[in-house]
């Protein structure tokens, strides 16, 4: 049987299962095409004059790379004319991007981190695009960019779809519309995403964890305790040896977990406390938490299920512990002891 393309998978989710609408199918196909364009742009590297700094900062006060700005523009241009969106929001833009008046508006909100892991761009390590889809609330005030922010402030459990592209040895699109997690591999000859895995299930147990150990002295005591337990190995309270990975690209670390289990942790630390943490809720933690839960894993701040958090601002940050369900439960247990 011929391999199922993304287009066929989405038609089956819409027509045969009634899980998504035609507009959501269109939105996801447009996002996939934008990720393909980003993959091609990144792939040029130094040959395309796209490496290095853009000479500007984003709202996070982080220096933007040329590819951050380019990827953001690719996603905006791909999505604003289709009539499926009410507005968009991005890590790279202070305020939401309204659909220009010359185009029809749709019922969905798209939020994205156009290129996550920017610190890895210039050293040729896997990076990715993360996206989240919400329904625009009835009667939302989209008259100004400032007013539109409110429409995005929904808990992650309200997402109707989420996914990421990982630009690595192969370009993958990992997607869920609430019917499990599917993985599509970009067939560069045909220029289309082809289904290569579906109904991903993350192993409940694992012996691999991902964290930036350089921040250890800044962690809260519960996280200090949990990591000490992991490092104690077989002789410790968890009775098994662990291995560690840290790519410093959330998409790459999460995809490893999707593939073979493990936990990813970016806990609260004292130098980040004023900002609320390192990772952003709406376009990093929420889409990844949605995917991880769809694959049978867990996603918590240590004290609360990530998907239950009601955001109070667009670029809100949260601590993140996600991955293999029982491993996440062990980390969370340290926070309530």
Per CB under 6 A, residues contacting ligand P6P are: 116-119, 212, 248-250, 278-279
CA angle (22 as vertex; 20, 26 as ends), nearest 5: 105
Of residues 119 and 190, the one with the C-beta less far from ligand P6P:
119
Of residues 215 and 224, the one with the C-beta less far from ligand P6P:
215
Of residues 119 and 144, the one with the C-beta less far from ligand P6P:
119
Taking residue 24's Cβ as centre, other Cβ atoms within 10 Å add up to: 22
Pairwise CA distance, residues 207 & 327, whole Å: 9
Minimum distance of ligand P6P from residue 254's CB (angstroms): 9
Of residues 147 and 248, the one with the C-beta less far from ligand P6P:
248
Query: Can you spell out the DSSP letters for 135-169?
Result: EPPTT---SSHHHHHHHH---GGG-SEEEEEEESS
Pairwise CA distance, residues 162 & 177, whole Å: 7
Minimum distance of ligand P6P from residue 212's CB (angstroms): 4
Minimum distance of ligand P6P from residue 266's CB (angstroms): 6
Minimum distance of ligand P6P from residue 119's CB (angstroms): 5
Indicate the helix (H) or strand (E) that contains 75: helix 66-79
Of residues 117 and 222, the one with the C-beta less far from ligand P6P:
117
Taking residue 304's Cβ as centre, other Cβ atoms within 10 Å add up to: 13
Minimum distance of ligand P6P from residue 211's CB (angstroms): 9
Q: Among all residues, whose Cβ is closest to ligand P6P? A: 250
């Amino acid at each position: 049987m011929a391999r199922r393309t993304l287009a066929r998978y989405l038609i089956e989710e819409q027509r045969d299962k009634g899980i998504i609408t035609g507009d959501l199918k269109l939105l996801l196909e447009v996002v996939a095409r934008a990720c393909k364009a980003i993959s091609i742009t990144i792939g040029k590297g130094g040959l395309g004059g796209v490496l290095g700094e853009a000479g500007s900062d984003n709202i996070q006060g982080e220096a933007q790379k040329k590819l951050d700005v380019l990827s953001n523009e690719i996603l905006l241009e791909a999505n604003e004319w289709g009539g499926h969106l009410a507005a968009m929001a991005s890590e790279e833009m202070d305020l939401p991007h309204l659909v220009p008046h010359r185009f029809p508006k749709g019922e969905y909100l798209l939020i994205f981190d156009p290129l996550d892991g920017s610190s890895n761009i210039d050293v040729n390590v896997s990076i990715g695009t993360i996206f989240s889809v919400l329904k625009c609330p009835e009667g939302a005030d989209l008259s100004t960019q400032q007013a539109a922010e409110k429409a995005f402030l929904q808990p992650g459990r309200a997402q109707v779809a989420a996914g990421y592209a990982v630009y690595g040895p192969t370009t993958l699109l990992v997607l869920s519309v609430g019917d499990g997690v599917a993985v599509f591999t970009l067939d560069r000859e045909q220029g289309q995403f082809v289904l290569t895995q579906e109904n991903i299930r993350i192993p409940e147990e694992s012996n691999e964890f991902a964290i930036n150990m350089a921040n250890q002295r800044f962690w809260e005591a519960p996280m200090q305790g949990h990591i000490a337990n992991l490092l104690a190995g077989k002789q410790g309270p968890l009775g098994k040896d662990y291995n560690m990975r840290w790519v410093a690209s959330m998409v790459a670390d999460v995809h490893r977990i999707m593939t073979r289990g493990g936990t990813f942790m970016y806990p609260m630390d004292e130098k980040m406390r004023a900002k609320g943490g390192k990772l952003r809720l709406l376009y990093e933690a929420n889409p990844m938490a949605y995917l991880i839960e769809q694959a049978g894993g867990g996603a918590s701040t240590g004290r609360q299920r990530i998907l239950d958090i009601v955001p109070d601002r667009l670029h809100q940050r949260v601590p993140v512990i996600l991955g293999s369900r029982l491993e996440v439960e062990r980390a969370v247990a340290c926070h309530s002891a």
